[in-house]
Copies of this chain bind each other. A is one copy, B any other.
Amino acid sequence: MRRHYFLEEYCIIAAERKKRPSDFRRERGRERSDPKTCPFCPGNEEMTPPAVAAYTVDGVGPDGVERVRDWWARSFPNLYPAVTADPEPPTREWVADRARGFHEVIIESPDHDADPSEFSRQELERLVTIYRDRYASHIADPGVGYVSIFKNWGRVAGASLSHTHSQLVALPIVPPALLRELEAIGRSPRCPYCSLVEREAASDRLIFENGRFVLIAPFFSEAPYETWILPKGHAPSLEGLDPRGLEDLAEALGEALRRQDRLLSGPAYNYTIRQLPDRRYHLNLRIHPAISALAGFERNTGIFINSVPPEAAARELREA
């Protein structure tokens, strides 16, 4: 039973459970679908709302009267939003509030069959730059408290369309989970993420590092083969990274996705970016292969059982 680095949270590392019959769902993340009917494919831009940002060789800008066609990435409002700029009034029972916000879809590649684990260095650098830009654009809004950027790859990971895409949800509040982090960080004499980066980089849970970033299997791992990417120097968000920092993040993300892809045969997965405008926070990106279910125990206790010790996961991912 391991405690989170600095929060009152626990996980259980139970290697015995890996011997269970039919333990892991090994559903692949990649799926086939028809590009002709894919709303995320070039030529089908009219199937989505106008882009707020279309990335082309000539620069970035929104769709005009005509949709931009020659994009290499494209961000537009989600047709099925979780939050909107003008939500319906809430029920007046209990405590409810308008979920005012923005929900964007970011198409990372015009290629219908692109797989992020095969992205080139240039594609990865473009990707993290887009994340930084879209984050910066929304966090500047005084009505926005938090900007969640994440990717669901594969049906079991929650993706409803197979063409590779990320999502951005801008919320009016800072989620309680992040507030609890900030409180704990505020009580600590030194940034606990800075401490854990140093210690993990010197441990057997380090998978890869470059000048500015580490890729680790964290001591506190809630899911098998969970990995975290963190900057070695303190930076609260993607906005705090210089060009070299973005390059190193792109490289670390590529290493993480390729190693995971080889080791787990192209699994479905989620990755999510945690960042805040609060200077005390420390940017981190977390990758969760979707190979274990959220089951009764986890729902009942909030404690996750992980059947792969992160030390073993790190060794396998280093060798992959």
A residues adjacent to B (C-beta < 8 A): 1-3, 5, 8-10, 12-14, 16-17, 19-23, 25, 80-84, 90-91, 93-99, 146, 148-152, 155-161, 167, 169, 171-173, 175-179, 199, 203, 219-220, 270-274, 286, 288, 290, 292-297, 299-303, 305
Contacts and interface: CB of A to CB of B under 8 A. Distances in A.
A83 B200 CA distance: 26
A300 B176 contact: no
25 contacts: A1-B98, A2-B94, A2-B97, A3-B96, A3-B97, A8-B176, A9-B176, A10-B173, A14-B82, A14-B83, A14-B99, A22-B161, A82-B297, A93-B219, A148-B296, A148-B300, A148-B301, A150-B295, A152-B295, A157-B296, A177-B301, A270-B295, A270-B296, A272-B296, A286-B299
A75 to B, nearest CB: 16
Contacts of A5: 94
B96 A23 contact: no
B175 A303 contact: yes
Copies, count: 2
Contacts of A22: 155, 160-161
Contacts of A149: 300
Nearest to A296: B150
Given A93-B203, A155-B22, A219-B94, A150 B2 contact: no
Nearest to A5: B94
A243 to B, nearest CB: 26
B301 A16 contact: no
B12 A177 contact: no
B301 A146 contact: yes
A112 to B, nearest CB: 16
A1 B272 contact: no
Contacts of A169: 297, 301
Nearest to A175: B301
Given A16-B84, A151-B296, A157-B293, 4 more contacts: A12-B83, A14-B81, A270-B299, A294-B294
Given A8-B176, A203-B93, A300 B273 contact: yes
Nearest to A153: B296
Contacts of A10: 173, 175-176
Residue with the greatest number of chain B CB neighbours at <10 A, chosen from A98, A177, A274 = A177
Contacts of A300: 148-150, 272-274, 286
Contacts of A16: 80-81, 84
